[in-house]
A = this chain, B = another copy of it.
């Protein structure tokens, strides 16, 4: 895509056709500037087939706000819309509507207000992560781009948090650019950093976010030397000459145990004699747990007990878990201390992180929940096949309740005029099962925290830009306050997302009235 086309395809036309046709319908019906509210939320945690997330990590808002600032109906966009024709050859869009679109530009989205749960926070299903309020047609046109900018980053931040957890605090590097979904991989690298990976090999994203990019070398480097009649050892020596203080060697181009590791040790000894400390080795194939044990044994025997062992090759949280388990069970048999080995491992995670393998999309949706009429919010409902799928209506607030241990015990969704902090006893209703509820004493709670904050208002982002490090700190704090059961990699406990009694009553009333009207 050339630069001109890119600006078009990633500008305000980065949307679905029906957003524009609906906006024109609202315009013609005189509803386009009617204040409306949409919730962005997801319905279920990612389910990776064999395992399932017990929480998600929110991400993506900053780049969405950047997009909103730059997206505008340029003359060429309006000219394109003017040229669109329907089945009968008639123009799809009228001049009246096009004039209205153009009138709002630049700053087309400035009339919206956005509240959101901040990036890096732990989030759960069916809670509004983002609430968009403003003129109906403007909020409608934002839908596709908002979902595109938020769904994928949240998916990847979540996967990264799981992988980081499985690695028991060891360094995790994101290597997925070559297997990501084209330019989306940049958003994935950023989300992975928010979610828990320590570094990425992605140079551009590292640069713009202020992280040092990481990497080792590829098999091709060894192959070049060998093709020219030299050896793996010569290739390793050349690498050590150029990077004596960052010498991390890929040892599986020919044979890991017979060739790669012995040659690496030779080079490491040469480096040591020159006063340099070798960095370590990387293995990208084979039985990584077994090879790690053998590598540790050989490196230890040669006096390099601190050299890192970097593992890569289709890793994810379950594979890392399996590797660590196998090492714990087998290392001793080879005279290697399992804990010491586990603490020198570093993980390079590519395809399965950047694509969220097993569940490559987050089902985030954007649903109308309220429209203003006569100055007050009228809640909107959509009846779904199942009670669980029916969205929570109305202008809402979200609260996180922490129990006496200061662990998060539930997210509570209430109406805008409700504040559970003012109540002595708090009723928590299950969102769809009328038989399930809980009552909590205010005195039994350590804290009640509002989760949605203003992020966009009066045409600009609210507050200072937050650093990725601060987002990571939020994530860490939130995950620390999760119950251990919720954090399990397999079969996690279900975290409670509850409704206040008032919201529950409103939802039932609206469902009933919609059903009646359909009959």
CB distance from A460 to the nearest CB of B (A): 14
Contacts of A20 in B (CB 8 A): 203
Contacts of A519 in B (CB 8 A): 258-259
Q: In the bound complex, what is the Cα–Cα distance between A34 and B22 (angstroms)?
A: 58
8 Å CB interface, A333-359 against B? 351, 354-357
Among candidates B14, B177, B221, B373, residue contacting A228 with C-beta atoms closer than 8 Å: B373
Task: Say whether A16 faces chain B, with CB atoms less than 8 Å apart.
Answer: yes
Look across to chain B and name the residue whose beta carbon is closest to the beta carbon of A254: B518
Complex contact B178–A245 (CB within 8 A): no
Complex contact B215–A16 (CB within 8 A): yes
Q: Among the listed stretches A24-32, A122-130, A299-307, A493-501, which one makes contact with chain B, having 4 or more residues with CB under 8 Å of it? A: A24-32
Q: In the bound complex, what is the Cα–Cα distance between A206 and B245 (angstroms)?
A: 51
Contacts of A11 in B (CB 8 A): 204
Complex contact B13–A204 (CB within 8 A): yes
Q: Among the listed stretches A86-94, A322-330, A471-479, A480-488, which one makes contact with chain B, having 4 or more residues with CB under 8 Å of it? A: A86-94
Complex contact A258–B518 (CB within 8 A): yes
Complex contact A223–B380 (CB within 8 A): yes
Interface string of A349-386 (1 = CB under 8 A from B): 00100111100111110111011010000111111110
Complex contact B28–A241 (CB within 8 A): yes
Contacts of A26 in B (CB 8 A): 221, 224
Look across to chain B and name the residue whose beta carbon is closest to the beta carbon of A238: B29
Task: Say whether A187 faces chain B, with CB atoms less than 8 Å apart.
Answer: yes
CB distance from A344 to the nearest CB of B (A): 15
Complex contact B179–A187 (CB within 8 A): no
Complex contact A182–B178 (CB within 8 A): no
Q: In the bound complex, what is the Cα–Cα distance between A229 and B378 (angstroms)?
A: 10
Interface string of A173-192 (1 = CB under 8 A from B): 00101111111111110000
CB distance from A259 to the nearest CB of B (A): 4
Most chain B Cβ neighbours within 10 Å, of A49, A90, A182, A217: A182
Contacts of A219 in B (CB 8 A): 367-368, 382
Look across to chain B and name the residue whose beta carbon is closest to the beta carbon of A149: B182
Complex contact A143–B178 (CB within 8 A): yes
Complex contact B180–A181 (CB within 8 A): yes
8 Å CB interface, A44-59 against B? 49
Contacts of A203 in B (CB 8 A): 13-17, 20
Contacts of A153 in B (CB 8 A): 182
Contacts of A381 in B (CB 8 A): 223, 226
Q: Given contacts A285-B384, A361-B357, A383-B254, is CB(A220)–CB(B140) below 8 Å?
A: yes
Contacts of A206 in B (CB 8 A): 17
Task: Say whether A246 faces chain B, with CB atoms less than 8 Å apart.
Answer: yes
Complex contact B357–A351 (CB within 8 A): no
Complex contact A382–B147 (CB within 8 A): no
Complex contact B15–A177 (CB within 8 A): yes
Q: In the bound complex, what is the Cα–Cα distance between A383 and B255 (angstroms)?
A: 8
Complex contact A245–B88 (CB within 8 A): yes
Complex contact A254–B31 (CB within 8 A): no
Residues on A close to B: CB < 8 A? 1-3, 5, 8-11, 13-22, 24-26, 28-29, 31, 34, 36, 38, 49, 63, 66, 70, 80, 84-88, 90, 92, 136, 140, 143-144, 147-149, 151-153, 175, 177-188, 201-208, 212-221, 223-224, 226-229, 231-232, 238-239, 241-243, 245-246, 253-255, 258-259, 279, 285-286, 351, 354-357, 360-364, 366-368, 370-371, 373, 378-385, 514-515, 517-519
Q: What are 29 residue pairs bridging A and B, where the CB atoms are less than 8 Å apart in the complex? A: A2-B70, A3-B70, A9-B205, A9-B208, A10-B186, A13-B204, A13-B207, A14-B204, A16-B178, A16-B213, A20-B203, A22-B218, A25-B238, A25-B242, A25-B243, A26-B221, A80-B207, A144-B178, A148-B185, A152-B180, A179-B362, A179-B363, A180-B361, A181-B182, A220-B367, A223-B382, A227-B371, A254-B518, A258-B518
